[in-house]
Amino acid sequence: MRIAIVGPESCGKSTLGMALAAHFQCAYVAEYAREYFATHPHQNYGITDVIHIAQRQFQQENEMASQYAHLICDTSPLVCRIWAEVKFGHCPLEIAQLELATSYDGILLCAPDLPWQADPLRENPSDRNAIFERYAQRLQMGCTPFRVVTGLGAQRLACAQQQLSIMGIDL
C-alpha cells in the first residue's frame, strides 16, 4: 500500500509524512530532491536535474516497496511534473512516463494554509494557491482517490488520518 503526499512548497508534506509513518508504524520515503541538492548547486539547476530527481525518487520508492508492505511517500512524479511545468513551462516525457508507471492507493494533497517557511530550496512563496490549484486539477483528471489536508500541527495530522479513513485506507 502506497500513500503519496503532494502539494506546493512549504505546505508541510515532509512533516506530515514523517508523522503519518510514525503513527502507522510504516516506512517513509523521503523527498530525494533535498538529498540531491545537498551535493549539487541549486542556483542553476535545469530540467535534466528535475528528471534525474524524479527518476531517483521513483527508484527509491520501488526499492522500499520491495521491503515494506506500507509506504508513506513524501512526493510523487506529480510533484516533479508540476515543478517542471511551473519552472520550465512543460513536463518532460520521462517524468510523464514515471507518473504513468507509479500507482498509489491514495494521495493526500496538502493545502497551502501553513505560514511560508523560507528555505534555500524553495522558490514560490507568492503563488502557492495557484500551484495548489494545479495539483487539484491534475488529481481530478486521474483515477487515484485523493483528499485535501488542512490545519495546523496536530489538527493537520488528524485531518490526514480522517481523509485516509474516508478513502477507505487502513494502514
Question: Model confidence over 123-136: pLDDT tens digits?
Answer: 777 899 999 999 99
What pLDDT band is residue 147 in, cutting at 50, 70 and 90? very high
Q: In the structure, what pLDDT confidence band is assigned to residue 119 with cuts at 50, 70 and 90?
A: confident
Pair 16, 139: CB distance under 8 Å: no
What confidence score (pLDDT) does residue 104 get? 97
Q: How many CA atoms lie within 13 A of 111 on its CB side?
A: 12
For position 73, what pLDDT does the model report? Answer: 98
Query: What is the distance between the terminal CA atoms of the chain, rounded to a whole angstrom?
Result: 8
Q: pLDDT tens, 73-97?
A: 999 999 999 999 999 999 999 999 9
Q: Which domains does the chain have, with CATH numbers?
A: 2-166 (3.40.50.300)
Q: Report the predicted TM-score, pTM, of the whole model to 2 decimal places.
A: 0.95
Rounded Cα–Cα distance for residues 2 and 145 (Å): 12
